A and B are shown apart, each in its own frame.
Chain A
């Protein structure tokens, strides 16, 4: 799958991966499709409104052919940034380069970009065909050619035979495709998409996400996509910039953003995360296998995680972030243990919390602690919510500390469910938790 891609980008690999030097090396040889240099946008104070710094000194490179997503809550500055690239807003400070050329003074109609607008912005007084051909007609492309290319563009978005209809006679999904065709027919260097799927229902949105991704990798056009939907961003992007308060909090491949969030905002905004605060007991303890494990005292327990950003010293207050799906629950006490005919090595524990009977017995806690650098703490289930794919448990470690743990619904053969009030062991490999300095 990766081999089919027409372009190379820092996708799906961590920046420390062995091949990354090569990929980044190649990347620097070409001009980025879009380059933002210290771009700031300030909306001046109006009557009854204070001055708003929508975008605060953002600098970034978007390589050619990348599916780049700006992700953040509403009002974070992502749409303003997109509108500045499109030319509808002028940066207060800083400069934007498209294909290496500064475009600060260039009006939108002279930029090699096209936009798919939120709610599509199709012209209601024109037919679908006239909508799609709008840009070409303005460029005085001969009529015959316009007609042919309109048909081609509509076929590309799988919408043949609607040329003569009015936009309001189409469904939301179809209108979205028309908007896409209307932009792509102009063969822009960069396609800007402003929450284009926001108005579609969930099923359709998921289908269109995959189509968009497919289309982008087939065409090789740089896509800059704005969304507040983290799942959408993770699904489609080569790279994501998480924006909050007009500032890029973190930029990287989806995996990087999800696995190694650099701060509390990113960890909280992308997916679901448990945050517990505590004091560093020993930094760097147990760094036997390369990781820099930090022991953090949280209430009555000592938990462990790896450093996020920055170094910590003993006694410092930190936040431990751990995702609900990266923990496991076990019943305390003696249990039958799975033998390693399943391919597990000695000392390894199946992710399944129940074990088939008749294969020996072990003390679960002892068994789990046998692993190096793992956290095993006792807790009590205070809430259990069945949500189909998973069961969400709220586990109380002590009076102040509660963790949400998601256990996949693995079926009934192995009884993996717990009831409210059950004593459980919460287990995670230390590297699953990240220590964030606030």
Chain B
């Protein structure tokens, strides 16, 4: 009986998909502990050499630092702007609201490469700015605003708008009501939105590569390392590390999102 279930078409499909998704990640982690500069079987034995080397790869660490800084600030800005957009969409009925919703969701479906090229033209040709971490941050913010709007908007739509009325009825001003009722009730959604935006920013390559200046972000720098085969294990180790951190962050964000909804 149980055997039959394990080999049903649905189960086979599930396992194939799981292998397809997770085998590469699994291999990455295996090779990050492999005692060889070459990424190939058979495995040569266990080592922490590559993780130790990470500590001395100053450019790589610098790139990681850049990514964290850009991620934090672009996500913060996206959270503020995206939340305001969510409030506008969910709570107010204004002319052109549907158009506003459509336009603000657009960055979700436009390929990042396109956004990258477009931003490059804007920054260089229109504004004549030098490319830097600022331009990368601005780009990330653009991509992250709709993500925040979606997450926070879903939360706002989930609780009745007469809660704000009630707060005002009891003596709070409009902003007082936002501060005392809307903000605390959507706090977990805000944090979840921020974390999701952060991981998106941390990952982002396709667009970043167009707008990055002399200081690189982590994905861009890692890709450039591929030109040096001897340093490949370093990239693999970094990949393993990022993987571990991402999983923790995403799980935390998801836990926040669902725990907020259950209330």
Chain A residues near B (Cβ < 8 Å): 46, 86-88, 107-109, 113-115, 117-119, 121-125, 134-135, 138-139, 168, 182-183, 186
Is B170 a contact of A121 with CB atoms below 8 Å?
A: no
B69 at the interface (CB under 8 A from A): no
Is B168 a contact of A108 with CB atoms below 8 Å?
A: yes
A121-B162 contact in complex given A46-B93, A134-B167, C-beta closer than 8 Å: yes
Complex: how many Å from CA A134 to CA B166?
10
Q: Which of B163, B171, B173 is within 8 Å of A139, CB to CB?
A: B171
Q: Which residue of A has the minimal Cβ distance to B96? A: A47
Is A109 a contact of B185 with CB atoms below 8 Å?
A: no
Q: Per-position contact with A for B161-184: 1 when CB-CB < 8 Å, else 0? A: 011011111111110100011001
B159 at the interface (CB under 8 A from A): yes
Report A-chain residues with C-beta under 8 Å of the C-beta of B163: 121, 123
Is B169 a contact of A86 with CB atoms below 8 Å?
A: yes
Complex: how many Å from CA A376 to CA B159?
60
In the A-B complex, the 6 residue pairs with the smallest Cβ-Cβ separation, listed nearest first, are A135-B170, A121-B166, A138-B171, A121-B162, A108-B168, A115-B169
Is B169 a contact of A138 with CB atoms below 8 Å?
A: no
Complex: how many Å from CA A138 to CA B168?
10
Is B168 a contact of A107 with CB atoms below 8 Å?
A: yes
Report B-chain residues with C-beta under 8 Å of the C-beta of A182: 170
Is B165 a contact of A107 with CB atoms below 8 Å?
A: no
Report A-chain residues with C-beta under 8 Å of the C-beta of B42: none
Q: Which of A108, A134, A135, A186 is within 8 Å of B165, CB to CB?
A: A108
A114-B170 contact in complex given A124-B185, A124-B263, A138-B176, C-beta closer than 8 Å: yes
Q: Which residue of A has the minimal Cβ distance to B97? A: A47
Report B-chain residues with C-beta under 8 Å of the C-beta of A107: 168, 173-174
User: How far apart are A132's CB and chain B's nearest CB, in angstroms?
Assistant: 10
Q: Please, how many residues of chain B have a CB less than 8 angstroms from a CB on the other chain? A: 21
B24 at the interface (CB under 8 A from A): no
Is B181 a contact of A123 with CB atoms below 8 Å?
A: yes
Complex: how many Å from CA A117 to CA B159?
14
Q: Which residue of A has the minimal Cβ distance to B184? A: A125
Complex: how many Å from CA A107 to CA B165?
11
Chain B 93-123 interface residues, beta-carbon cutoff 8 Å to A: 93
Report B-chain residues with C-beta under 8 Å of the C-beta of A134: 167, 170, 180
Complex: how many Å from CA A107 to CA B166?
13
B160 at the interface (CB under 8 A from A): yes
Is A114 a contact of B160 with CB atoms below 8 Å?
A: no
Complex: how many Å from CA A138 to CA B171?
6
Q: Which of A46, A86, A119, A124 has the most CB of B within 10 A?
A: A124
Q: Which of B159, B171, B181 has the most CB of A within 10 A?
A: B171
Complex: how many Å from CA A168 to CA B262?
11
Q: Which residue of B has the minimal Cβ distance to A110? A: B171
Report A-chain residues with C-beta under 8 Å of the C-beta of B159: 124
Is B168 a contact of A109 with CB atoms below 8 Å?
A: yes
Q: Which residue of B has the minimal Cβ distance to A133? A: B170
Q: Which of A109, A113, A117, A124 is within 8 Å of B173, CB to CB?
A: A109
A115-B176 contact in complex given A124-B263, A125-B263, C-beta closer than 8 Å: no
Complex: how many Å from CA A67 to CA B181?
31
User: How far apart are B96's CB and chain A's nearest CB, in angstroms?
Assistant: 10
A-B contact pairs, 9 of them (CB 8 A): A46-B93, A117-B165, A117-B166, A123-B163, A123-B181, A124-B159, A134-B180, A138-B171, A182-B170
Q: Which residue of B has the minimal Cβ distance to A83? A: B165
Q: Which of A107, A113, A122, A138 has the most CB of B within 10 A?
A: A138
Complex: how many Å from CA A115 to CA B162?
11
Complex: how many Å from CA A87 to CA B168?
9
Report B-chain residues with C-beta under 8 Å of the C-beta of A139: 171
Complex: how many Å from CA A46 to CA B93?
9
Report A-chain residues with C-beta under 8 Å of the C-beta of B181: 123, 125
Complex: how many Å from CA A135 to CA B170?
5
User: How far apart are B168's CB and chain A's nearest CB, in angstroms?
Assistant: 5
Q: Which of B163, B169, B263 has the most CB of A within 10 A?
A: B169
Complex: how many Å from CA A117 to CA B161?
11
Complex: how many Å from CA A118 to CA B173?
21
Complex: how many Å from CA A47 to CA B185?
32
Q: Which residue of A has the minimal Cβ distance to B161? A: A121
Complex: how many Å from CA A109 to CA B172?
6
User: How far apart are B117's CB and chain A's nearest CB, in angstroms?
Assistant: 35
Report A-chain residues with C-beta under 8 Å of the C-beta of B160: 119, 121
Complex: how many Å from CA A125 to CA B186?
10
User: How far apart are A106's CB and chain B's nearest CB, in angstroms?
Assistant: 12
Complex: how many Å from CA A123 to CA B185?
9
A117-B172 contact in complex given A46-B93, A125-B185, A134-B167, C-beta closer than 8 Å: no
Report B-chain residues with C-beta under 8 Å of the C-beta of A46: 93
Q: Which of A86, A115, A122, A182 has the most CB of B within 10 A?
A: A115
A114-B185 contact in complex given A121-B162, A121-B163, A124-B263, C-beta closer than 8 Å: no
Complex: how many Å from CA A113 to CA B162?
16
Is A117 a contact of B162 with CB atoms below 8 Å?
A: yes
Complex: how many Å from CA A343 to CA B159?
64
Report B-chain residues with C-beta under 8 Å of the C-beta of A86: 165, 169
Is A119 a contact of B162 with CB atoms below 8 Å?
A: yes
Complex: how many Å from CA A138 to CA B179?
12
Is A115 a contact of B263 with CB atoms below 8 Å?
A: no
User: How far apart are A423's CB and chain B's nearest CB, in angstroms?
Assistant: 58
Additional 10 contacts, C-beta under 8 A, given A117-B166, A124-B159, A138-B170: A88-B168, A107-B174, A108-B168, A109-B170, A117-B162, A117-B169, A118-B162, A121-B163, A123-B166, A138-B176
Q: Which of A123, A125, A135, A168 is within 8 Å of B171, CB to CB?
A: A135
Complex: how many Å from CA A115 to CA B165?
9
Q: Which residue of B has the minimal Cβ distance to A134? A: B170
User: How far apart are B25's CB and chain A's nearest CB, in angstroms?
Assistant: 38
User: How far apart are A293's CB and chain B's nearest CB, in angstroms?
Assistant: 51
User: How far apart are B73's CB and chain A's nearest CB, in angstroms?
Assistant: 28
Is A88 a contact of B165 with CB atoms below 8 Å?
A: yes
Is B184 a contact of A108 with CB atoms below 8 Å?
A: no
Q: Which residue of B has the minimal Cβ distance to A135? A: B170
Report A-chain residues with C-beta under 8 Å of the C-beta of B185: 123-125
Complex: how many Å from CA A138 to CA B176?
9
User: How far apart are A56's CB and chain B's nearest CB, in angstroms?
Assistant: 23
Report B-chain residues with C-beta under 8 Å of the C-beta of A87: 168
Q: Which of A113, A119, A123, A186 has the most CB of B within 10 A?
A: A123
Report A-chain residues with C-beta under 8 Å of the C-beta of B167: 123, 134
